[in-house]
Amino acid sequence: MIDREHDLPLKRQAELLGISRGSVYYLPEPVPEAEFALMRRIDELHLEHPFAGSRMLRDLLRLQGFDVGRRHVGTLMRRMGIQALYRKPNTSKKHPAHPVFPYALRGLAIERANQVWALDITYVPMARGWVYLVVVLDWHSRRVLAHRVSITMEADFCVEALREAAARWGSPDIVNTDQGSQFSSAEFVAEVRRIGARQSMDGRGCWRDNVFVERLWRSVKYEDVYLKAYDGVSAARRSLATYFEFYNARRPHQSHDGRTPDMVYFNALPSMQVAA
């Protein structure tokens, strides 16, 4: 689809195709089997014990036969974009040019669709290598409104996902994220402002502020990612798109008394917006 000989810049070609610019420059890098197995197990343990930091993960891994040190675990956690979900002081220095927005959901009753959207990024292992996945989730219905897969952690694929969701489903009152650099970047902040939403950010390392997205990651990984071991980026994109169609339209939720996210989302929209 990408023509490197075309007069149109590669960045513009990627925008027209609706894919992350980083994907255009993707070159598979071989990952040692032992390293990849370790990253896969760290990801699984993080889902099971989201409060576990590098020290606890090291000890859990050693009990399972992995000979690994804390610094190596910490390095892999940074590469995978994960951290322990507990409140801790001075965990990182904020970029002076990146704003941090106050958490706007405390005490807020979320009673309708498109009131609050949440975005988050997760690491997705493949048979060889890995990618990153971002979703736009409607808090009221738990419906996935848009998603993007990228081989880099740049902000552009997060901006693309938010832009698609707003174009298809209208704008929310609030967009909530963590304090990651992708969501505090000038590009993302400008996109939130462009769609007319208010930006909110979780407390640093505070698990309860984005709990619905954390629950989504468990479903995605145990019901699709770990079962299929995608053989490449294209396979990951196809499979995740199919899974989210199932998740929205056919997967019942206990929190919705057995209804699907689609049922809750469209029932909670104004009739004019549903018709559109």
Supply the angle between the helices 33-48 and 70-80 in degrees, to the nearest 10: 80
Q: Tell me if 128 sits within 8 A of 32, measured CB to CB.
A: no
What's the pTM? 0.75
Helical segments of the chain, H only: 10-17, 21-24, 33-48, 54-63, 70-80, 156-169, 181-184, 186-194, 211-220, 226-228, 233-249, 261-267, 271-275
pLDDT digits (tens, 9 = 90+) for 182-232: 999 999 999 999 999 999 998 765 555 567 888 899 899 999 999 998 999
- Higher pLDDT, residue 5 or 56: 56
When mean pLDDT is compared across 3-12, 215-224, 264-273, the lowest value belongs to 3-12
- Please report, for the chain, the start and end positions of each structural domain, with discontinuous segments joined by +: 10-80, 116-271
- Higher pLDDT, residue 54 or 97: 54
Sheet of 144-150: strands edge to edge?
144-150, 130-138, 116-125, 174-177, 198-201
Which candidate, 122, 127, 146, 132, places its Cα nearest to that of 26? 132
In the predicted model, what is the mean pLDDT of residues 140-165? 95
In the predicted model, what is the mean pLDDT of residues 231-247? 96
The per-residue pLDDT for 275 is: 43
Backbone angles phi, psi at 105, to 5 degrees: -100, -5
- Higher pLDDT, residue 77 or 239: 239
- Looking at 3.30.420.10, 3.40.640.10, 3.40.50.150, 3.40.50.300, the CATH number of the domain 116-271 comes to 3.30.420.10
